[in-house]
């Protein structure tokens, strides 16, 4: 059974703090994704990675960076958290090629105060 895990279900941080969100998958997938989900806006892609140390910007990368040092792990970094980054963050992984389903983690609800 494919498993995608995220480091925290709930996180509360202060404005200006550096925030790390970790995602780990156990299916040896090449592709990993970070989305944020907001009411009425659906899922918006922040960054994705198609291989170790490879990354591409998604639709809303501003204020975020990512790191993929190992195939199974994809980290999302908020360099200086702001209140407009309060959201649900979802990580997903997918096998090589576009014709594969994405497997999502349980999500991290981040609140920035």
Residues making contact with another protein (CB under 8 A): 31, 33, 35, 40-45, 48, 50, 56, 58-59, 90, 98-99, 101-107
Question: C-alpha 27: how far from its chain's center?
Answer: 17
Smallest separation (angstroms) from another protein to the CB of 14: 26
Q: Please report, in angstroms and rounded to a whole number, the separation of the first and last CA atoms in the chain.
A: 37
Gap between the Cα atoms of 35 and 111, Å rounded: 16
Gap between the Cα atoms of 15 and 85, Å rounded: 10
Nearer to another protein, 17 or 88 (CB): 88
Nearer to another protein, 9 or 70 (CB): 9
Smallest separation (angstroms) from another protein to the CB of 73: 18
Gap between the Cα atoms of 101 and 2, Å rounded: 11
Smallest separation (angstroms) from another protein to the CB of 80: 26
Smallest separation (angstroms) from another protein to the CB of 17: 25
């Amino acid at each position: 059974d494919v498993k995608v895990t995220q480091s925290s279900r709930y996180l509360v941080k202060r404005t200006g703090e550096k925030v790390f969100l970790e995602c780990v998958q156990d299916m040896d997938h090449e592709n990993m994704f970070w989305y944020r989900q907001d009411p009425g806006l659906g899922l918006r892609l922040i960054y994705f990675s198609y291989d170790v140390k490879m990354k591409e910007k998604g639709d809303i990368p501003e204020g975020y960076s990512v790191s993929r040092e190992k195939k199974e792990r994809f980290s999302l970094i908020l360099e200086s958290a702001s209140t407009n980054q309060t959201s649900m963050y979802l990580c997903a992984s997918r096998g090589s090629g576009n014709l594969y389903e994405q497997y999502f983690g349980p999500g991290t609800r981040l609140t920035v105060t």
